[in-house]
């Protein structure tokens, strides 16, 4: 509750940043009248952070796994980075429109390894008639994400990690989700319908820039055992069983592309620890928490 109490004090002082928690406080009387208390409101605000933190982290972990197992993909992504960005500076969000292959790598890992295998569950709060089917009130509805993502009529060779399949998908996943044609979708990891993930664009942006910076600075290689580079597996046995498709701990080597790029990464980290970041005019510390003024 410490962060919530801090936000309350900032709100009362008129210094609270523009954010979701502030919107909750602006309408807190309405929330209270609905039967919620301060702890509930803190969970509502914090849940938005928690939901995006773990899922994005798992997706990035899966990206490292698949890239370690697919050096060809890494090589092509790095070639694109050198053409669009060059070796002298880190990629920025302004570069992302020139990095379609890097973005395609993110879309492909979200397709081949959706974190939530059965998809996000929906609940019918009234009887619904869809085509010739009656869906009774109280029915739990699940998007069969795995079936859709491994349908060979939709994705050729669906068990292969092939970012090339998404080179023509230049829009955000949330933009495809808003289209009426389901066959225009890139993938269904962010769910479907009106309950599609509200943080889809944030997640995609986070993964895009993280991958671009990692591959700009490092080559990801399999581990070496007894002097021999071993193969990295990506089969089901490499993931924990259950509805959440999370990679088991695995080894990989991050090899700096050159000394200058490694130095650049270290310098940026030092700056982040000292000054934090500027997020659309809001100063946050290295952990992403808004700084006190």
Domain carrying residue 47: 22-257
**CA atoms of 210 and 203, how far apart (whole Å):** 11
Q: CA separation (Å) from 194 to 109, 120, 224, 252?
A: 24, 12, 47, 39
| 127-156: average pLDDT | 93
pLDDT for the residue numbered 46: 84
Residue 70 falls inside a structural domain? yes
DSSP state of 225: E
pLDDT exceeds 80 at position 65: yes
Per residue in 1-34, pLDDT (tens digit) is 888 899 899 889 988 877 888 999 999 889 898 8
**CA atoms of 101 and 93, how far apart (whole Å):** 15
Residue 152 falls inside a structural domain? yes
pLDDT for the residue numbered 292: 64
Per the structure block, which two tokens stand in for 25? 């406080």
Residue 29 falls inside a structural domain? yes
Residue 272 falls inside a structural domain? no
User: pTM value?
Assistant: 0.86
Per the structure block, which two tokens stand in for 201? 């664009």
Q: Which residues are annotated as a binding site for heme?
A: 197
Helix then strand then coil, % of the chain, to nearest 5? 50, 10, 40
- Sequence-ordered strand ranges (E) for 136-225: 140-142, 218-221, 224-225
User: Which of 112, 108, 151, 58 has its CA nearest to residue 235?
Assistant: 112
Residue 247 falls inside a structural domain? yes
Residue 284 falls inside a structural domain? no
**Domain total in the chain:** 1
pLDDT-derived band at 242 (thresholds 50, 70, 90) equals confident
Per the structure block, which two tokens stand in for 126? 């009234």
Question: Residues, the chain, total?
Answer: 293
Residue 27 falls inside a structural domain? yes
- Sequence-ordered strand ranges (E) for 107-196: 121-123, 128-130, 133-135, 140-142
pLDDT exceeds 90 at position 232: yes
Which residues pair with residue 146 across a beta bridge?
none
**CA atoms of 126 and 96, how far apart (whole Å):** 43
**CA atoms of 210 and 192, how far apart (whole Å):** 26
Per the structure block, which two tokens stand in for 90? 């880190």
What mean pLDDT is reported for the chain? 91
pLDDT-derived band at 231 (thresholds 50, 70, 90) equals very high
| CATH code, domain with 196 | 1.10.630.10
pLDDT-derived band at 293 (thresholds 50, 70, 90) equals low
3-state class (DSSP) for residue 123? strand
Q: If DSSP states are collapsed to H, E and C, what string results for 237-260?
A: HHECCCCECCECCCCCEEEECCHH
Per residue in 167-188, pLDDT (tens digit) is 999 999 999 999 989 899 999 9
Q: Which residues are annotated as a binding site?
A: 197
Per residue in 184-202, pLDDT (tens digit) is 999 999 988 777 888 899 8
Exposed/middle/buried for 100, CB within 10 Å: 0-12, 13-18, 19+? middle
Residues 199/52, Cβ–Cβ less than 8 Å: yes
Phi-psi region of 76 (alpha: psi -120 to 50; beta: other; left: phi over 0): alpha
Residue 159 falls inside a structural domain? yes
pLDDT for the residue numbered 280: 65
């Amino acid at each position: 509750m410490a962060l919530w109490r801090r936000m309350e004090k900032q709100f009362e002082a008129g210094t609270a940043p523009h954010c979701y928690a502030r919107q909750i406080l602006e309408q807190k009387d309405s929330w209270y009248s609905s039967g919620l208390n301060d702890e509930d409101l803190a969970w509502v605000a914090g849940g938005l952070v928690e939901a995006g933190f773990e899922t994005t982290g798992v997706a990035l972990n899966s990206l490292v796994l698949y890239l370690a197992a697919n050096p060809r993909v890494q090589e092509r992504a790095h070639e694109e980075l050198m053409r669009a960005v060059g070796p002298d500076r880190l990629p920025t969000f302004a570069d992302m429109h020139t990095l379609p292959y890097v973005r395609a790598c993110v879309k492909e890992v979200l397709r081949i390894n959706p974190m939530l295998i059965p998809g996000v569950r929906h609940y019918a709060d009234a009887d619904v008639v869809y085509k010739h089917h009656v869906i009774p009130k109280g029915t739990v509805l699940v998007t069969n994400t795995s079936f859709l993502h491994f349908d060979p009529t939709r994705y050729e060779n669906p068990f292969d990690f092939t970012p090339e399949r998404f080179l023509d998908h230049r829009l955000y996943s949330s933009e495809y989700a808003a289209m009426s044609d389901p066959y225009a979708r890139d993938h269904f990891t962010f769910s479907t319908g009106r309950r599609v993930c509200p943080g889809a664009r944030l997640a995609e942006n986070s993964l895009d820039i993280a991958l671009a910076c990692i591959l700009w600075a490092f080559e990801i290689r399999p581990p070496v055992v007894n002097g021999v580079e071993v193969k990295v597996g990506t089969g089901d046995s490499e993931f924990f069983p259950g509805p959440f498709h999370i990679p088991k701990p695995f080894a990989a080597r991050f090899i700096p592309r050159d000394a200058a790029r490694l130095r650049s990464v270290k310098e940026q980290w030092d700056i982040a620890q000292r000054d934090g970041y500027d997020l659309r005019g809001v100063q946050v510390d290295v952990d992403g928490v808004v700084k006190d003024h």
